[in-house]
C-alpha cells in the first residue's frame, strides 16, 4: 500500500515537473482541433483528481457505489480549461494530489478494499483506483511530451 501511495506522489511529480518546464508561450497551443493543449491536460488531470477523491468518499460514506465514465472532451470545452491560469492549475494539482494521498493514507485496510462498480473499469477498490490514477498520470505525461513536440514547430 505504501508503494502505491509513493507511486502516486512520484507520477504527479513527473507530470508537474514537466508541466513547469513547458514553454509558457505554448501552454495553450493545440496540436490539432481535437487534441488537448498542455493547459487542458493539466485541468483535465485536476478535474479527474477531484473526481477520484469524490469517488473514494462515496465508497466510504454512500450506499451508491456506482461510478460513470466522464467525457473529458466535453468537460474541457464546458469548463473552458484552455482559458484557465496554467501555473495555478499545476499548483492546485499538486495540492489536490497531496489531499488524495492524505485521504487514502488514513483509511483502514478494510476501507481500502470497499468495492464499487465503474462503468469502464468494472469492480474497483481504492487499491485499483490508485493504479488507475498513476497510469492516467503517465498517459497524460506522454501526451504532454507529444504535444510539446508538435506545437514547437
- What are the structural domains of the chain? 2-22+35-151 (1.20.120.450)
For residue 5, what pLDDT is reported? 95
127-135 own/partner pairs: CB under 8 Å, 24+ apart: 127/1, 127/4, 129/52, 129/55, 129/56, 130/4, 130/5, 130/7, 130/8, 130/104, 131/4, 132/52, 133/8, 133/11, 133/48, 133/49, 133/52, 133/100, 134/4, 134/7, 134/8, 134/11
For residue 73, what pLDDT is reported? 85
For residue 153, what pLDDT is reported? 73
For residue 2, what pLDDT is reported? 82
- This prediction's pTM: 0.95
For residue 22, what pLDDT is reported? 97
Q: Profile the chain (153 residues) by mean pLDDT over runs of 10 residues.
A: 91 98 96 94 97 97 94 88 97 98 97 96 96 97 95 84
For residue 56, what pLDDT is reported? 97
Amino acid at each position: 500500500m505504501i508503494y502505491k501511495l509513493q507511486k502516486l506522489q512520484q507520477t504527479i511529480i513527473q507530470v508537474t515537473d514537466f508541466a513547469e518546464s513547458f514553454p509558457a508561450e505554448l501552454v495553450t497551443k493545440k496540436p490539432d482541433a481535437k487534441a488537448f493543449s498542455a493547459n487542458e491536460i493539466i485541468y483535465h488531470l485536476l478535474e479527474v483528481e477531484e473526481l477520484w477523491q469524490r469517488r473514494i468518499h462515496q465508497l466510504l460514506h454512500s450506499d451508491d457505489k456506482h461510478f460513470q465514465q466522464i467525457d473529458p472532451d466535453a468537460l474541457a470545452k464546458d469548463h473552458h480549461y484552455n482559458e484557465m491560469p496554467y501555473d495555478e492549475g499545476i499548483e492546485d494539482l499538486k495540492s489536490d494530489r497531496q489531499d488524495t494521498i492524505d485521504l487514502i493514507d488514513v483509511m483502514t485496510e478494510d476501507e481500502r478494499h470497499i468495492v464499487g462498480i465503474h462503468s469502464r473499469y468494472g469492480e474497483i477498490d481504492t487499491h485499483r483506483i490508485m493504479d488507475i490514477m498513476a497510469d492516467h498520470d503517465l498517459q497524460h505525461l506522454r501526451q504532454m511530451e507529444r504535444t510539446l513536440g508538435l506545437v514547437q514547430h
